[in-house]
Amino acid sequence: MQQQLMGRMVQMGLGAELIYAFIIIISSLMIYFGTKELYELTKYKGIKYFREAFLLFAIAFFFRSFIKSIMILFGLSRPHDFQLLGIVSLFIFLYTITLAMFYLLYSIMWKKWRKSPKIIYLFHILAILIAILSLITGNITIILLVNILLLILILSITYIAHKNPRKKGQSIHLIYVLLSLFLILNVIDILIPNFLQLYQLMIYLLSIGIFLLIFYKVLKKSGSD
C-alpha cells in the first residue's frame, strides 16, 4: 500500500516536471523560431541576442528536466549523486541558464556597450565561473550568495536601461526582472532541492506565466504565425 502510494507520488512528480519543462521549452523554441525572419531580414544585434537567449533557455530547461527526472526516479537528494552524467548535465544547465540571462541583458544594452563588444566574452567567462562555483561548493550560503549577487547585477543593469527617459514606462524591463528572479529560483530549486519545496508549485506556475506572457508579446509583435 505504502509502496503503491510512493510509486504514484513519483509518477505525479515526474509528470509535473515534464509538463513544466515541456511548456517552457516549447514556448522558448517558438520565440526563437518565430523571430527568425525578423533577424534574417535585419541582422540586427538586439534581435540576435534576444532570440539566442530563448534558445539557451530551451537548452537549459531540457537539462533541468533531465536532472529532475533522474533525481525523482532514483530518489536522489542531489544531482551530484548521479555521478558524471549528473555533474555534466548540471554544469550545462547552470552555464546555459546564466548565459541566457546575460544574453537577454545584452539585447537591451548592446547599444550602450557598443564600444566594448568583448563584454560578451566576459559574460561567457562569468557564466562558466558561476556554474563551476555552484557545482564544486555544496555550501548553501555560497550558492545563495552567488545567485543573490547575480540578481543584483541583473537588477542594476535593467535599472540603467529603464532610466532612459525615452523608454520610461516600458513594461518589458519589469518582465525581465521577474523572469530573472524566477530563473534564479529555478536554479536554487535544483541546487538546494529542499529549500523551496513548499513554494515549488507557485514558482512553476509563475515561471510558466512569465514565459507565456513573453511568448504572447512576441507572437503579437513579430507578426509570425
Tell me if 114 contacts another protein by CB under 8 A. Answer: no
Cβ count within 10 A of residue 77: 9
User: Of 137 and 222, which has the nearer Cβ to another protein?
Assistant: 222
- All three cell numbers of 24: 517552457
Q: Which stretch binds another protein (CB under 8 A): 11-19, 32-40, 62-70, 188-196?
A: 32-40
Single residue of 11, 156, 170, 197 touching another protein by CB under 8 A: 170
Cβ count within 10 A of residue 135: 18
Tell me which long-range contacts 39-47 makes (C-beta under 8 A, separation of at least 24): 45/110, 46/107, 46/108, 46/110, 46/111, 47/107
* 38-57 positions binding another protein, by CB under 8 A: 38, 40-44, 46-47, 50
Tell me if 161 contacts another protein by CB under 8 A. Answer: yes
Tell me if 36 contacts another protein by CB under 8 A. Answer: no
Q: How far apart are CA 74 and CA 67, in angstroms?
A: 11
- Interface residues toward another protein, by CB under 8 A: 35, 37-38, 40-44, 46-47, 50, 107-108, 161, 167, 170, 172-173, 217-218, 221-223
